[in-house]
Amino acid sequence: MARVALVTGGMGGLGEAICIKMVALGYKVVTTYSPSNKTHESWLATMKDQGYNFTAYPCDVSDFDSAATCIAAVERDIGPVDVLVNNAGITRDMTFKKMDKVNWDAVMKTNLDSVFNMTKPVADGMVDRGWGRIINISSVNGQKGAFGQTNYSAAKAGVHGFTKALALEVARKGVTVNTISPGYIGTKMVMEIPKDVLDSKIIPQIPMARLGKPEEVAGLVAYLASDEAAFLTGANIAINGGQHMS
């Protein structure tokens, strides 16, 4: 029977590449979309035209009750979640001097609280079944920090702290918990950075002298979700073109 993979924030960019990779490997792929997103039907139709059949559910990942409702609907309609990819995230960049509580809270709730909100309803089921994969998408800037990203860097660093602690708790139960920390990937969010900034400030920091490809990160997600990765847990895997090595 095909395993169920739930990818938060799967419509576009990195999430879309992950969804495509997982469905190509035979998973039943479910993604989430913001309740305010009015384009999900057109995205699903476009993906179906390309041969990818996804299911999507509305979910505010920053809200615990919304996440619980979403998971309950997925498990009722599709089946228990075997692979959870916590990918949804936002940025609200500004220096700490200009940072206000609203933009701090927005990033922390969407990028860090969401990991708890989505994992809590599925973790016990994974443990009971003796198999599960929880894959949390962090960032190179959670490892090294970034100017103007105190909120984002703090949230993404917290993601890996969560990963390590939960990995210890479920390690004997056939459930792995890992973090992926991408560098600058050629997603819509990154491509919105002015080209002169990319060319003068960001690309020169990357030894491979290019942005990463969403498909490269998706391939790593697929490995972590596989049976072959059963002995890998609590890890933070950097995929950043050599920009930051630790």
Q: Are 118 and 8 in contact (CB under 8 A)?
A: yes
How many C-beta atoms lie closer than 10 Å to residue 38's C-beta? Answer: 9
The residue annotated as part of the active site, out of 57, 152, 184, 223, is: 152
Amino acid, single-letter form, for residue 73: A
Question: Hey, which bits of 48-185 come out as E strands?
Answer: 55-58, 83-86, 132-137, 175-182
Q: Are 243 and 184 in contact (CB under 8 A)?
A: yes
User: What are the beta bridge partners of residue 237?
Assistant: 180
Let me know if 27 is a catalytic residue: no
Structure tokens at 229: 């990765």
Contacts by 97-104, CB closer than 8 A, 24 or more apart: 99/150, 99/151, 103/151, 104/150, 104/151
Name the phi and psi angles at 55, rounded to 5. Answer: -115, 140
End-to-end alpha-carbon separation of the chain, Å? 39
Active-site residue set: 152
